[in-house]
Amino acid sequence: MMEKVSYNKEAIIELINLKKSFGNNRVLNDLNLTVKQGENVVVIGKSGSGKSVLIKCIIGLIKPDSGIVSVFGNDVSKLSHDDLDQMRAKVGFLFQSNALYDSMTIRENLEFPLRRHWLKDTKDTINDLVLDALTNVGLADTIDMKPSELSGGMKKRVALARTLILKPEIILYDEPTSGLDPVTGKEISNLIVEIQKKYNTSSIIISHDLSCAKITSNKIVILIDGTCYATGTFEELNNMSDKKVKQFFD
Amino acid sequence: MEEQSVKKIKLGVFVIIAATCLIVGLYFIGSKRNIFHSKIHVSALFSNISGLMPGNNVQFNGINVGTVSKIYAIADTAIKVEFTIDSDIKKYITSYAVASIGTEGLLGSKLVNISPGKRGGVTLREADVMNTVNAIETDKALRKLLVTNDNLNVISENLKTFSAKFNTPNSLWNLLSDSVVAGNVRNALVKIKITGDRTAVITGDLSKIVQDVKSGKGTMGALLTDASLSQKLKQTIINIEAVTDSFAIITGNFKNVSEKLKNGDGAIGTLISDTTFVHKLNMSMDNIKNGSANFNENMKALKLSWPFKKYFKKKEKENNK
Amino acid sequence: MKSIALKHFLYETAGIYLFAVRFFKELFKPRFEFNEFLKQCYTVGNTSITLVSVTALIMGLVITIQSQPAMETFGTESWLPSVVSISLVRELVPVITALTCAGKIGSSIGAELGSMKVTEQIDSMEVSGTNPFKYLVVTRVLAATLMLPLLIILGDTISLYGAYIGVNINQNVSFHLFTNQVFAKLDFSDVLPSVIKGLFFGFTIGIISCYKGYHTKNGTEGVGKSANSSVVVSIFAVFMIDLIAAQVANIFHIL
């Protein structure tokens, strides 16, 4: 039995009074955030403002000190190991560093999450899925290469393909455009929008790249000192006169 | 996938090679310890195993034929040693074979020695108990030697009184009056002479033995446990026993003779008429004196040599009481 | 300053201990990563063969050559194969093999897991529904534990061959006589403890290296540090275990 804690029927992810500190460093301080079905929320904040911690709390990699993390209406911190696994199967996570397994080929990288979740799949269907996912990101010919042979943008796209191969309902992007040139960054941003439309996913995108935020966001949250300082669409926030908000848009 | 299977094959080759090395090595070691041979289990009783341990070798005429498997005491003077013997070799070991405890080389580890013993007999079987030779008990031999010593003391005492009497003219005349005993005395004196000679030889032997024991001070332990040496020593002790036995007989004779002489039933006539005999008698008396002097000296030496010192001290104490 | 170092040392010790406890807990949980285990066995075992073989051969050779003059003075040259083989099998080969492996395996595991940690690959596995501890740590530790004894056996064999070459530099001993002399003095109590010791060496090297790699911090710099401390701590632990093993073996020898 999964305990339903959601207060908002539309919310697919809900964070309530989230607190997390590392030693004396308080990273998240009474953070509240709601993501609705089919919504792309971009979280903007300075380095070290706890953006990565925020999404790692959602996937259960980091346990918050207090507060509730609710995904699909289930309290993540109260899920059993197996339930957490099931939940994670529906949540994709694109790591900042791509987190491609260096020792494996691209094919094995993409097969990796598949084997875990659908052990009963035959070799052929797995192969088809891998090829499909790679074709989606336009890199079908790299299938037998190692990650080290790919460029930064290609790695990002392979990582995205790996995230998408499980057809997640939620995708968490950790700085998807960091370390990429503006052109490639734009490509990735467009890809994110495309994915949202194609699979009707809800996403949280951690970024400090405004151009990315502009393209991908339905809603922007500005994170300052561990709380949501301001919320709104790109235009709304851009027109705000608040000093602290302004510094992100200059 | 191709690369993966090649790696697996290589891994398999490595594992098999290493395992083979281990198995071959263990086999070689095991064959030394007779683990993979068919074998029989026999045992032997010893009163003292002088540090033998399970795992020590069992040798038959110098070749390794098994190992000691178990050692335990079954009585205050009986240690049971169980060991294995190769089935191949067991047909040469009969019920007459004798087990003893020896040493491998001069300083090596202990081992069980099996010597074939007499010809004939039944082949050794599973769970047989073998004959053994125990380490020599020096204490026992020494005690016998002491009895001899006491006897000798009495003899020399008697001889002293006898010669004293012999010197006084009165007794001489007494002796002269008896002619029957004279023949006896003559015979007796001939015997005395022979005995005296013998005593000299025996005491010579004894002194040699004592010398050996004395010089063996440092290596006493090795001496007593070493198989070949112990064999020799055993022979020596047997000799000593024989000597002391004959000594007892001789001294018994002596006692009789001197007793008779003390009674002095006039055989002196013969003595006086036969000057060559008197000369002989003198010589034999000298011999006896020398012999007993030698023996005393040896006994003194024996007293001083360390293994027996304690014993004599104890005895002295008892005498003082 | 000193108390901080001591605190850190105690913290690390407790961490490694808990890591080892977790290893045994996870070891018997279902879904054994057999393919990954074989892969790690290959990495730990096969890729170390050359290194271990060369080291062992030189070890056997050098020890024999060095012992020769001393044995000659006592007139016990004929004991050379026996004496050298016992010291090789009992002590030198296990320890030297463990040390070379601590260097090779320790650094590679420390660096690999360290870089996986800092590039979030370990987190990624967790998210992908794979227990990274089972997939990465258990397989590696198990591979090291099982491969090291095999490497030691191989090292023993090759070092004895080295000793054979060494003996034949100054004497003329046939291979048959050499093996006879060697096995005349070697016992199970020489070979088995060294193999068992190998298990412990492998386990310790694996656990320490995995711990160091798995708990890497501070990005790329941390990877270097992890690799470095994996090797240092592993080597230290190898000597400690050797010391303990010598005493334990001694106890059993007395018994």
- Cβ B33–C188 below 8 Å, yes or no? yes
In a domain, B22, yes or no: no
Token duo for residue A247: 């510094």
- Cβ C115–A93 below 8 Å, yes or no? no
Instruction: Compute the average pLDDT of residues A46-61.
Output: 80
Chain C within 8 Å of A146 (Cβ-Cβ)? no
Q: Which residues contact C168 (CB under 8 A, 6 or more apart)?
A: none
In a domain, C240, yes or no: yes
Chain B within 8 Å of C37 (Cβ-Cβ)? no
**A121 or A1, which is more confident:** A121
Task: Please check whether residue A29 is in contact with residue A226, taking contact to mean a CB–CB distance below 8 angstroms.
Answer: yes
pLDDT at C1: 62
Chain A within 8 Å of C165 (Cβ-Cβ)? no
Q: pLDDT-based confidence at B132, cuts 50/70/90? A: confident
Task: Please check whether residue B30 is in contact with residue C187, taking contact to mean a CB–CB distance below 8 angstroms.
Answer: no
Chain A within 8 Å of C38 (Cβ-Cβ)? no
The answer, yes or no, to whether residue C209 has pLDDT greater than 80, is: yes
User: Do residue B58 and residue B176 come from a single domain?
Assistant: no
The answer, yes or no, to whether residue C193 has pLDDT greater than 80, is: yes
Mean of pLDDT over chain A: 80
User: Do residue B64 and residue B124 come from a single domain?
Assistant: yes
Q: Which of B4, B7, B32 sits opposite C183 (nearest CB)?
A: B32
The answer, yes or no, to whether residue B221 has pLDDT greater than 60, is: no
In a domain, B26, yes or no: no
User: Do residue B52 and residue B181 come from a single domain?
Assistant: no
Q: Which of the residues C29, C47, C127, C216 would you substitute to probe the A interface, choosing the one with the greatest number of A C-beta atoms within 10 Å?
A: C127
A-C CB pairs within 8 A amount to 45
**B295 or A197, which is more confident:** A197
Range of the structural domain that residue B245 is part of: 138-320
- Cβ neighbour number for residue A107 with a 10 Å cutoff: 17
Q: Do chains A and B touch (3 or more CB pairs under 8 A)?
A: no
pLDDT at C51: 93
Q: Which of A93, A101, A102 sits opposite C127 (nearest CB)?
A: A93
**C87 or C249, which is more confident:** C87
Distance from CA of C12 to the nearest CA of B (A): 34
**B273 or A32, which is more confident:** A32
C-chain CB neighbours of A173 within 8 Å are none
Boundary (domain end) residue, out of B101, B132, B163? B132
Token duo for residue C86: 């016992």
Between positions 162 and 221 of C, the ones with CB within 8 A of B are 179, 183-184, 186-188, 191, 195
Lowest average pLDDT, out of B70-79, B301-310, C124-133, C191-200, goes to: B301-310
Instruction: Compute the average pLDDT of residues B57-76.
Output: 85
Nearest CA in chain C to A103: C112
In a domain, C23, yes or no: no
Q: Which residues contact C39 (CB under 8 A, 6 or more apart)?
A: B4, B7, C139
pLDDT at B269: 45
Q: pLDDT-based confidence at B218, cuts 50/70/90? A: very low
pLDDT 10s digits, A182-217: 888 888 888 888 888 888 888 888 887 788 888 888
User: Do residue B165 and residue B191 come from a single domain?
Assistant: yes
In a domain, C92, yes or no: yes
pLDDT 10s digits, C107-164: 999 999 999 988 888 888 888 878 888 889 999 999 999 999 999 999 999 999 999 9
Please state the domain count of chain C. 1
C-chain CB neighbours of B10 within 8 Å are 42, 46
- Cβ A99–C119 below 8 Å, yes or no? yes
Distance from CA of A85 to the nearest CA of C (A): 6
Strand A40-45's sheet: what is its strand order? A91-94, A170-174, A202-207, A40-45, A219-224, A227-232
pLDDT at A40: 83
A-chain CB neighbours of C119 within 8 Å are 95, 97-99, 102
Instruction: Compute the average pLDDT of residues C48-69.
Output: 92
Nearest to B28 by CA among C115, C188, A234, A37: C188
Distance from CA of C123 to the nearest CA of A (A): 7
Lowest average pLDDT, out of B99-103, B161-165, C171-175, goes to: B161-165
Biggest distance spanned by C-alpha atoms of chain A: 58
C-chain CB neighbours of A179 within 8 Å are none
- Cβ C195–B22 below 8 Å, yes or no? yes
pLDDT 10s digits, C4-40: 888 988 998 999 999 999 999 888 887 788 888 998 9
In a domain, B27, yes or no: no
Nearest CA in chain A to C122: A99
Q: Which residue has the tokens 């090292």?
A: C155
pLDDT at B260: 63
CA-to-CA distance for B107 and B104, rounded, in angstroms?
A: 7
pLDDT 10s digits, A82-108: 788 778 878 888 888 888 888 888 888
CATH number at residue B82: 2.40.30
In a domain, C48, yes or no: yes
pLDDT 10s digits, A179-189: 788 888 888 88
Boundary (domain end) residue, out of B80, B110, B132? B132
CB burial of residue B197 (10 Å; 0-12, 13-18, 19+): middle
C-chain CB neighbours of B107 within 8 Å are none
Please state the domain count of chain B. 2
User: Do residue B97 and residue B153 come from a single domain?
Assistant: no
User: Do residue B95 and residue B77 come from a single domain?
Assistant: yes
Distances B35 to B86, B104, B109, C16 between C-alpha atoms, Å: 10, 21, 20, 42
Chain C within 8 Å of A156 (Cβ-Cβ)? no
Task: Please check whether residue B131 is in contact with residue B98, taking contact to mean a CB–CB distance below 8 angstroms.
Answer: yes
Instruction: Compute the average pLDDT of residues B192-221.
Output: 66
Chain C within 8 Å of A56 (Cβ-Cβ)? yes
Q: What is the DSSP letter of B63?
A: E
CA-to-CA distance for B97 and B289, rounded, in angstroms?
A: 48
pLDDT at A3: 45
Query: Which amino acid is present at B130?
Result: M
Mean of pLDDT over chain C: 89
Task: Please check whether residue A41 is in contact with residue A206, taking contact to mean a CB–CB distance below 8 angstroms.
Answer: no
Chain C within 8 Å of A88 (Cβ-Cβ)? yes
In a domain, C207, yes or no: yes
Percent of chain C at pLDDT > 90 equals 50
In a domain, B31, yes or no: no
User: Do residue B200 and residue B68 come from a single domain?
Assistant: no
* Domains of chain A, CATH where assigned: 1-90+206-250 (3.40.50.300)
pLDDT at A9: 59
Task: Please check whether residue C144 is in contact with residue C206, taking contact to mean a CB–CB distance below 8 angstroms.
Answer: yes
Range of the structural domain that residue C39 is part of: 35-254
Distance from CA of C144 to the nearest CA of B (A): 13
CA-to-CA distance for A77 and C125, rounded, in angstroms?
A: 19
Chain A within 8 Å of C217 (Cβ-Cβ)? no
Q: pLDDT-based confidence at A27, cuts 50/70/90? A: confident
In a domain, C243, yes or no: yes
Chain A within 8 Å of C120 (Cβ-Cβ)? yes
Chain A within 8 Å of C220 (Cβ-Cβ)? no
Nearest to A116 by CA among A152, A84, A141: A84
CA-to-CA distance for B43 and A67, rounded, in angstroms?
A: 79
The answer, yes or no, to whether residue C50 has pLDDT greater than 90, is: yes
Boundary (domain end) residue, out of B100, B132, B164? B132
- Cβ C127–A59 below 8 Å, yes or no? yes
pLDDT at B212: 63
In a domain, B9, yes or no: no
